[in-house]
Chains A and B, each alone.
Chain A
Amino acid sequence: MLRPTLLTASAVLVAFAGQAQTPAPTVDQIIAKHLEARGGLARLKAIRTLRIQARSGSQEVPLVTEWKRPMRYRRSATFLGVTFVHAFDGTAGWTINPFAGAGGGFKEPQPMNPEELKAAALDADLDGPLVDWQAKGHRVEYLGREDMDGDPVHKLKVSLKDGDQITYYLDADTFLALKTVTKRTVRGSEEESETTFGNYAATGGVMFPHLVASGPKGSADRERVTIDEVRINEAMSDDRFSMPAKAAK
């Protein structure tokens, strides 16, 4: 656990508690506190590669997600003895979906469709959209402080450059993200999903949630991902992110 970050966050709590009559905080102030809570911008930017090992659902399907600057991303899941892959090499995205096609067993990599590509380009940003949001072409709006599950949160609406939206619910005490609501436009139709974060712990001075639960907004169904291990700045070949000519077994 990261002592300096939490001290900072608690100091913020005290500072904000005394501001009941003062104007609402600005977007920049909120984001600055959020990034501090995550470990500080310097530590975030010092991450060159990131590998997160996780398990999903009651059957604990192994999930491995890897990032490498600039904008390289790969997630794989081993399921029923076969492996799914979603990957993005900074420009192009590709997938392996062994369940595509009747009977399964299809292991050839395929280029992502435009909607997958749009999502992958966002996923590949290992800093997240709140870091350097202006330079990335996003817009951020502070929606105020409200109650979420009985606790105060700050709401930030991020209008992404690609037209989609993510609303962040930041804990008013620690400024860590407790929830996001994502609104995407998929082939002209709106899709909303909700993700909650918990069990934060630090690796390399940076806070990562170790419980991520996501599902459609308005539904009680949630797929829970438990993060087991976070590794930072390990060597990672660029080839892992490029679409292979042929899939491995």
Chain B
Amino acid sequence: MNRAFASLALIPALSVSLVAAAPKVDPQTFAGLAIRNIGPAVMGGRVSALDGFVENGRITLFLGAASGGVWKSQNGGTSFKPLFDKQIQSIGAVRVDPSDHRTLWVGTGESWTRNSVSVGDGIYKSTDGGDTWTNMGLKDSEHIAQVLVDPRDSKVVYAAALGHLWSSGGERGLYRSADGGKTWLRVLATNDDAGCASVAMDPKNPDVLYAAMWQFRRRAWAFESGGPGGGLYKSTDGGRSWIRLDGDAKRGLPAGEVGRCAFAVAPSDPRIVYCVVEAKEGGLYRSEDGGGSWKRVNRGAEMLSRPFYFSTLTVDPKNPDRVYKPGFNLSLSEDGGRTFSTIASAAHGDFHAVWVDPERPEHVYMGSDGGFYESQDRGATVVFQQNLPIAQYYHVSLDDQVPYNTYGGLQDNSSWRGPSRTGGAIQNRHWRTFPNGDGFWAQPDPSDPDYAYTESQGGEIVRTNMRTGETRAIKPQEQAGEAKYRWNWNSPIVLSPNHKGAIYMGCQYLFRSEDHGLTWQKLSPDLTTNDPKKQQQEQSGGVTTDNSAAENHCTIYAVAESPLDKDLIWVGTDDGRLQVTRDGGKSWTDTVANVPGLPEHTWVSWIEPSPYAAGTAFATFDGHTTGDLRTYVYRTTDYGRTWTPLATPQLEGFAHVVRQDPVNRELLYLGTEFGLFLSVDGGAAWSAFRPENFPKVAVRDIAIHPRDKDLVLATHGRGLWIVDDLTPLRALGKEAMARPSAFLPVRPSERSVLQDFGWVDGDAQFNGQGPSYGAAFAYHQQKRHIFGDLKFEILDAQGQVLGTLPGDPRRGIQRLFWNMRLKAPRVPVGASPVFVASGPRVLEGAYTIRMTDGPSVQKTELRIVPDPLSVNTAEDRRAQFDLAMDLFRMIDGMAYTTERLVALRDGARGAQAKDPALKARLEAFAAALETLRAEYVPVKEGAGITGEEKHREHLVSLYQTVAGFDGRPAPAAFARRDALKKDIGATDLAVAQLVAKDLGPLNAALKAEGAAPIQDLTWKDWDARTATGPGAGKGSPEELAWSLTARYF
């Protein structure tokens, strides 16, 4: 009975109003669909911040992922758990309060401000080690580079806020709180375009601070580091007043404009301060008098490279001359910065964070674009920890293999293929990579399962033979007289839904190939604005020139061919053109002027032609590169002549992708920077999809598997996620939701034969979650079920109950799984246990699920089908099932016989005989029974591997052999069954003869003495006594451990 029923029984007035209430559609409606993270963690995602502490000899680490939240390890990095899933995933800073390790600070909004960086929403505090978080303000800072806490006073906190990246304003500069974050005072600011990129504290005199102001502005087509707002500052009074350090020739720091700089104070000698400076006279500067005077000690490439991405320093906690400089490589100086060596050369490059064990400085942790590394020898050698699923996907696509594979490209981590499921966990070893670089679109070739298309930045597409590894570069090349092709950082590679094997690519022109990229047909003129002002990437970077293809602009970004018309093609550009052709590219129309409420030149992030009507399409736009974080999603039904906005206040985050369900036209999926949103009414209303385990992460792409009906999400920061089987969601209508509880349809359940034996990999490996095993059924309930019974029984065609499952009490769609197995046979009890994991798996066919929800009883069909991977026939499986059941009955029968022998034996030994001769006969009877029992089961008591093999062991071994393979058993199995029947039958006969011969006379003699007779155990009594057990468990004592420790109140 659910909450409504409980009320109905007791408080009629209240209950009527509850029942009559309109069905509630909110995130909980969908949460029970569940979602699983398949990783991968074989590669990393960018790690932006690290902090930690040592307590009782153990290292606790906090790791900030660039777009994957905050992770905590309490074992020095062997394993991590996410701490920050309900909050924004873009992390700029993590800081442990040095005087209270339970208090943590997180500055959201990564400060490594590359083109793909996300945004934050302020600073967060936890006072319970990360279990709960409170936003403490600075919500308009967007990016927080650092947080420091005064070691003398936990209430004094500094936050270095960069402010808005793509526009002026916001909360920017150095902020100080004197009340633990309740209020903030901006203590250092320069102008509306500059923020604080670095703050360092003298650990012995925490009122001494060094701060670097940085003026930086990104646009979609360029960025500029440096400007009048930049500068280097020192305070000796906790930020109340500042002196400027740069621009004064006497101090030694460079004159003129500075870009991104970073300070670091040597913890062991705070007079020694380092500053890496981006400037015309940039390099590494060192002061030995607390910032009074400076000398440039190094101007090597690693000090000067890409300051916006790498300006940070870490000084060894015990040696003031040992300095780590993250960069393309990780560099280490042992001589105060005069010379550097490259370390961690076996790691992925592009380092951003270093944390040195304060008690053992040889021990170093590092974060880079490639993930998280640990070194025991100061970076000479490193261990890559494959335990963090923080992959930054851009796109995902799927093939039609069984099981299907996922393909996708990741920020600076190549492109990868991995399975949607295995026979167990999806482990790091299941993934394979393609040619390296940044990865974006990756497509299997539907015309040849051996091949896939992947790319690296700037449209560098290759076609790879996945069997041999051969790759062929097939990027379209400029022809004589053509303008230079402009390829986006993330150039589209899109498959034709109508012509198997045809692919599209776009620069400013749209190309199509029908011969695997050997030749390309140019289908369009320049479809962009072709604005020359946005094509000067050679001048991008400001103080330090930086032209990496990341700012390429006036390019095609979105391409889609209508599944209903091969000549109807949509193209969206990064400079805000929304083009359509209805004649295969002969003529193009820009429809963006018809999009209401959309600022000019807003990036087209996605186009989704409807599979239901040719004139219908959906589009998303992303304005964040102009500082516009609103959600833009639209629909047209007339080929773009008019567009209708679909955004509602329930949405948050700039939009990346929209998909229309191919089965239910009202069902829409929208991926934004802050997650997935669903609409069940064609976009009139939206609801976040946020199951408990799914973080508030950017959903960059959505794929729907047409055969398996799965929804696959590519997240930029938390890898790939799968919602198995959308069937219940597609069927969720008003009718089902109007009832207190109702079944929903599911896809038929396969008797999976897939097995993956895995290996014992230890705790430092991530294991991706496979689908729940078993036959699924789904239901929707309006209210949480609190009172009374909610159970599901599985019935066979004869109405016999094969299994029972308790319901899930949560409201909304719920899905449960029956393991398709009969209960295990009752096992003969001996001195040692015997493992019989379960009963045989049921055969394919139609079964019935019966839901009992208080007084309500409903039924639905449960359809079980063979696994398409199985090479066996239905007859094979029937032969296996029948033999397994025969053996099952033999085990069950032996369980009875051995219990009967024990009952008779104990009865004989417990009989109250007076006559010594009778006593002797009773003991002889008991001994004979025990001798026969020893033919069935082991009888040597005590721990250890006794190696006794009795009838039971032989029978169970054969049962496991037969039950463990889903095909026709070998002839030897049938022969063995017959042989065992003969052997066991001989013992059974001996038992029968012994009992027939002795029990009657013995009981007669006992009766003559007036003593109670020996009670025989009948099958009926035994069967009744053991009807509820002993069960066989789920296969291991470890799994039972949870039940043994579960607390009931």
Contact = CB atoms under 8 A, between A and B. Distances in A.
A98 B28 contact: no
Interface stretch (A21-29, A222-230, A234-242): A222-230
Given A60-B823, A81-B1030, A209 B1049 contact: yes
Given A63-B1043, A173-B3, A201-B787, A80 B10 contact: no
Contact of A104 (B6, B824, B833): B833
Contacts of B1047: 122-123, 180, 182, 195, 212, 214
Interface stretch (B148-156, B193-201, B804-812): B804-812
Contact of A55 (B11, B895, B1028): B1028
Contact of B1043 (A56, A102, A176): A56
Contact of B10 (A3, A57, A171, A215): A3
A65 interface: yes
A57 to B, nearest CB: 5
B7 to A, nearest CB: 7
Interface in B791-826: 791, 803-807, 809-812, 818-819, 821, 823-824
Contact of B946 (A105, A119, A173, A180): A105
A202 to B, nearest CB: 9
A52 B1039 contact: no
Of residues A119, A188, A198, which shows the largest number of chain B Cβ atoms within 10 Å of its Cβ? A198
Nearest to A101: B943
Nearest to A102: B945
Interface size class for chain A?
Answer: 35 or more
Contacts of B787: 1, 6, 199-201
B829 A10 contact: no
B66 to A, nearest CB: 22
Nearest to B1033: A79
A58 B792 CA distance: 12
Contacts of B81: 218
B790 interface: yes
A75 interface: yes
Contact of B809 (A102, A128, A199, A215): A199
B1043 A196 contact: no
A211 B806 contact: yes
Given A57-B1039, A59-B838, A86-B1044, A102 B943 contact: yes
A82 B833 contact: yes
A214 B942 contact: no
A198 B946 CA distance: 44
Interface in A165-185: 171, 173-174, 176-178, 180, 182
A122 to B, nearest CB: 8
A133 interface: no
Given A80-B827, A99-B833, A196 B693 contact: no
Contacts of B10: 1, 3, 6-7, 10
29 contacts: A7-B10, A10-B7, A10-B10, A59-B1031, A60-B804, A60-B1028, A61-B1034, A63-B1044, A79-B1033, A80-B833, A81-B833, A99-B1037, A101-B943, A103-B832, A105-B938, A106-B942, A106-B943, A119-B1045, A149-B812, A151-B811, A174-B786, A178-B784, A198-B790, A199-B806, A211-B809, A214-B1047, A218-B693, A220-B769, A225-B1043
Interface of A: 1, 3, 6-7, 10, 38, 52, 55-63, 65, 75, 77-82, 84, 86, 97-108, 119, 122-123, 128, 143, 149-151, 171, 173-174, 176-178, 180, 182, 188-190, 193, 195-201, 208-215, 218, 220, 223-227
Interface of B: 3, 6-7, 9-11, 14, 24, 26-29, 31, 34, 36, 56, 58, 74-75, 81-82, 132, 692-693, 769, 772, 784-791, 803-807, 809-812, 818-819, 821, 823-824, 827-836, 838, 895, 938, 941-946, 1028-1034, 1037, 1039-1040, 1042-1049
Given A77-B1043, A105-B943, 18 more contacts: A10-B10, A58-B838, A58-B1034, A59-B824, A78-B1031, A79-B833, A79-B1037, A81-B834, A104-B833, A105-B946, A108-B943, A149-B28, A151-B28, A201-B789, A218-B82, A223-B1040, A223-B1042, A227-B1048
